[in-house]
Each structure stands twice: as structure tokens, then as C-alpha cells.
């Protein structure tokens, strides 16, 4: 049943084999054996992928319920509902995770020695089912879903540069003044970038071509610290440098509203203690860190 559900979720037997770490022949054989056992065709195989037959749709619905109950029984037998123990997969954006989530996770591991955490730091949006994620930290507005979201605070986009750079350039009073400045971007130097601001309720788009383009925010911050030009980043990414006087904020009145930060996890009938312990432990600590990183 697990192989069958994975094949349906992935949309093809080959993708299911890669996800499960099994040979394609094994995956195909297991699905065929299941169909033989049930004496019914469950899948329609084509060059475009897999489709479910009516019998397949009914079976998949029932199988999901059965496997959920089996997982619940295994968790109970393993003691996940009597004390925090087991593995957790947690994901977050790379820089936020390194600066703020990792220190909190290390404290959590010291407090709960029977729990292990796999921390996935990535700037792509992960999926709870496909990536087998238990908890995710997300920055930005959330789509409607059945996931539980706990708000941690708000961070905003800011524009900054080193004091040494700003001392040699025309003062930045309005976004249009950026036309006389050097900008550090994440686009190709041959491509046009656009920074968007707000003035009197209207969006102000500032197109430009940068002379320096980088592929990571760490490199962009290093360049700004060295006086290479104007940088646009999230507040938590440069908060320490601003407080130390190494970077200076500009155009603050024109920045858009802040973006929410949430910790989200899947809604379950019974929450394993390892997950409840993790949420209860990290939420107040992350809220404190988000507040301190605000500018």
C-alpha cells in the first residue's frame, strides 16, 4: 500500500522508485502484485504518467486511512505519546535557519536527549508530504491550508549601505535618487532588476542594471560592507551590522509593510509529544529572536 500511494503521489513509477530508493522493477512488481491480489486494475499507465481507475481511487482513499492508523499505532508503541522521543524533520530558509533557528534547535536537543532533529535549510518551498517535513518556518503570507500556523512576528525588507559609501554619494531622500547610485543585485549584470517601494499609497518601481550581481545574500552583505553599493535585504539578515554601525538604513519611509514569520506543522488527531515539545520550546525563543532582529 505504501508503494502504491507513493506512486500515485509522485505521478509515475520511476519517480516513486527514486523517492523510495527502490529499483524501478521492484516498484512495478509490487504494484502489479497488489493489483493481482485485488483482482482489479488500480492504475492506468501512459506516457504522461499515472491515472487512477475508479477502483484505484476507492483503494487509495481506504489505504491512506489504514496507513494513518498504522503509523498512529507505531508511534504509540514507540512511546511517542508518553515522552518526547523520535526524529523530527524541520525546515527553514537558509540564512534565518543558520542565524536564529539553529541555536534554538541546539538548546532543544540539550533539553530533550531522546529527540533527534534533521534541520533542512533551503530557500525553496518544501512540501510536508513530499519532503516528509514535520515543522517548517515560513516567511511571508501563507496560503489557505489545513496546516497549523503559529505567528512568530514580522520582518521587513530594508535598504542599506555602508557609511563610507553613503558619505561619497548624493543623499538618498526618495527612491528615484537610486538612479545615481550603484546597486548590488541578485540578477545577471546584463539583466534589468526592479526594486519596489511605496509613496503616498502608490507603488514606486525603480528599474536598474547593477554593476555587481551575486548569487547569495552572504556575498551581497559582504559587498555592501566593503562599500560596493546599495543593498536590499530582509531586516534580520543585516540587523547586527546596522546596530554595530557597519551598515546604515536608507529610504525607510518608503519600504513596504513587514512580512509575517510563522512556524507551521501538520494537523493531526494526536500530536506526538516530540512535536508538541518542539513547538512549545522553540516558539517563545524564536519570537524573542525575531523581535530583537527587527529594525
Model pLDDT, residue 167: 95
Model pLDDT, residue 269: 55
Model pLDDT, residue 192: 84
Per-residue model confidence as pLDDT tens digits over 26-42: 988 998 998 899 888 98
Those residues with Cβ within 8 angstroms of residue 17's Cβ, 6 or more apart along the chain or in another chain? 23, 24, 26, 27
Neighbours of 221 (CB within 10 A): 21
* pLDDT of 189 higher than 90: no
Write the CATH number of the domain with boundaries 86-151+262-293.
3.40.190.10
Model pLDDT, residue 78: 62
* pLDDT of 82 higher than 70: no
Structural domain boundaries in the chain:
2-77, 86-151+262-293, 157-254
Alpha carbons 141 and 120: distance in angstroms, whole number: 21
Mean pLDDT of the chain: 88
Alpha carbons 289 and 124: distance in angstroms, whole number: 23
Per-residue model confidence as pLDDT tens digits over 144-160: 677 889 999 999 999 99
Write the CATH number of the domain with boundaries 157-254.
3.40.190.290
Q: Which range has the worst mean pLDDT, 15-29, 105-119, 261-275?
A: 261-275
CATH class of 2-77: mainly alpha
Instruction: Name the DSSP letter for residue 85.
Output: -
* pLDDT of 80 higher than 70: no
* pLDDT of 72 higher than 70: no
Domain 86-151+262-293 shares a fold with domain 157-254: yes
Mean pLDDT value across residues 239-250: 96
Per-residue model confidence as pLDDT tens digits over 253-282: 999 999 999 999 987 655 788 999 999 999
Amino acid at each position: 500500500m505504501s508503494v502504491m500511494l507513493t506512486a500515485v503521489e509522485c505521478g509515475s513509477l520511476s519517480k516513486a522508485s527514486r523517492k523510495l530508493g527502490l529499483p524501478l522493477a521492484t516498484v512495478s512488481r509490487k504494484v502489479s502484485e497488489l493489483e493481482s491480489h485485488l483482482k482489479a486494475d488500480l492504475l492506468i499507465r501512459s506516457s504522461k504518467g499515472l491515472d487512477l481507475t475508479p477502483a484505484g481511487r476507492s483503494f487509495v482513499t481506504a489505504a491512506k486511512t489504514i496507513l494513518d492508523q498504522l503509523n498512529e499505532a507505531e508511534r504509540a508503541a514507540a512511546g511517542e505519546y508518553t515522552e518526547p522521543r523520535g526524529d523530527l524533520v524541520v525546515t527553514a530558509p537558509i540564512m534565518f535557519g543558520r542565524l536564529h533557528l539553529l541555536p534554538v534547535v541546539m538548546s532543544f536537543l540539550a533539553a530533550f536527549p531522546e529527540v533527534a532533529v534533521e534541520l533542512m535549510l533551503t530557500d525553496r518551498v518544501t512540501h510536508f508530504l513530499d519532503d516528509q517535513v514535520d515543522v517548517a518556518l515560513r516567511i511571508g503570507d501563507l496560503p489557505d491550508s489545513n496546516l497549523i500556523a503559529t505567528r512568530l512576528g514580522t520582518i521587513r525588507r530594508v535598504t542599506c549601505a555602508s557609511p563610507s559609501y553613503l558619505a561619497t554619494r548624493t543623499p538618498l531622500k526618495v527612491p528615484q535618487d537610486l538612479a545615481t547610485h550603484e546597486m548590488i543585485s541578485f540578477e545577471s549584470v546584463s539583466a534589468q532588476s526592479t526594486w519596489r517601494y511605496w509613496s503616498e499609497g502608490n507603488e514606486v518601481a525603480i528599474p536598474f542594471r547593477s554593476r555587481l550581481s551575486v548569487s547569495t545574500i552572504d556575498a551581497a552583505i559582504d559587498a555592501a560592507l566593503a562599500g560596493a553599493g546599495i543593498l536590499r535585504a530582509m531586516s534580520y539578515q543585516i540587523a547586527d551590522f546596522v546596530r554595530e554601525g557597519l551598515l546604515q538604513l536608507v529610504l525607510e519611509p518608503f519600504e513596504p509593510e513587514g512580512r509575517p514569520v510563522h512556524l507551521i506543522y501538520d494537523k493531526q488527531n494526536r500530536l506526538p509529544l516530540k512535536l508538541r515539545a518542539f513547538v512549545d520550546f522553540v516558539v517563545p525563543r524564536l519570537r524573542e529572536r525575531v523581535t530583537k532582529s527587527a529594525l
